[in-house]
Amino acid sequence: MPLDAAVLDPPVDRLSLQPMIAPSRTALLVIDAQVDFIGPDGALGQAGVDLSPVAPVLPRIEALIAAARGAGVAVVFVRVVTRPETDSEALKLLMQRKGYPPEAAAICRAGTTGVDYYGVAPQAGDLEIQKTLFSSFSGTTLDSALRERGIDTLVVAGFTTDCCIDCTVRDAFHLNFSVFVVQDGCAAYNEDLHYGALNGLVKNCALLAETQSVIACWSLVA
């Protein structure tokens, strides 16, 4: 039976959510909104991946960003930037064992348009983090940057739910952050993967929220 939203624990209601995501202690993480992942001219679009599940999510992320900025919530843009010398040996071996060609690891290469933001972009005052693998915390300064700003709570949106969202949220939880995943502010290329990932996260290390509830909370303090 296909998975859908009905299998999930319900998102936190707006009244309960408001004190949990107070602007002074919260950051909005926007993960991997990049050409190679969600743009029709990017690597996955050119490879024939169905991008239709991601299209409705971008306007919601834009609205979340606007609400965060208006309320003084820290906005963090995380993106993948790779080079041949930074490719993980484990990733290359995994690709090889799956029968993929060596170039399968060559995504979001520095100096290509595939690495660019798509649909949204940072502004002055936003924090930018570059990573080479899936988790936004692996090999980056994200943890220390958040601690310096007094942040202990994350609201997470972006792409993809089953990969970089999943890995980031699990690492954040293990680093002692409270995490809220915006269930309609992220997407996978397959709905079963999207809902399956959300289900695993909410069972173990995160709570779910909805775009309009988050915006309503932050609008009250804007």
CA distance 190 to 147: 34
Looking at per-residue pLDDT, the higher value among 14 and 220 belongs to 14
Range with the largest mean pLDDT of 9-18, 81-90, 93-102, 167-176: 167-176
Q: Which residues pair with 127 in a beta bridge?
A: 76
The tens digit of pLDDT for each residue in 51-72 reads: 999 999 999 999 999 999 999 9
Give the 3-state secondary structure of residue 53: coil
Nearest CA-CA partner of 211 in 22, 4, 28, 3:
28
- SS in 3 state form for 3-41? CCHHHCCCCCCHHHHHHHCCHHHEEEEEECCEHHHHCCC
SS (HEC) of 136-181: CCCCCCHHHHHHHCCCCEEEEEEECHHHHHHHHHHHHHHCCCEEEE
pLDDT at 15 over 70: yes
Residue 163 annotated to the active site: no
Residue 1 has pLDDT above 50, yes or no: no
- The pLDDT of residue 4: 64
Is 32 among the catalytic positions?
yes
pLDDT single digits (tens) 69-97: 999 999 999 999 999 999 889 988 998 99
Output the pTM of the full model.
0.94
Q: Where are the domains of the chain?
A: 5-219
Closest CA to 211 of 175, 182, 187, 177: 182
Which is the catalytic residue, given 108, 131, 171, 205?
Answer: 131
- 8 band by pLDDT with thresholds 50, 70 and 90: confident
Contact between residue 31 and residue 165 where contact means Cβ atoms under 8 Å apart:
yes
Predicted pLDDT at 7: 61
* Nearest one of 168, 165, 171 to 183, comparing CA atoms: 165
Architecture of domain 5-219: 3-Layer(aba) Sandwich (3.40)
User: Which residue among the candidates 164, 186, 205, 217 is catalytic per the annotation?
Assistant: 164
What is the arithmetic mean of pLDDT over 133-159?
A: 98
pLDDT at 208 over 70: yes
Residue 171 has pLDDT above 70, yes or no: yes
Residue 85 is classified by DSSP as: G
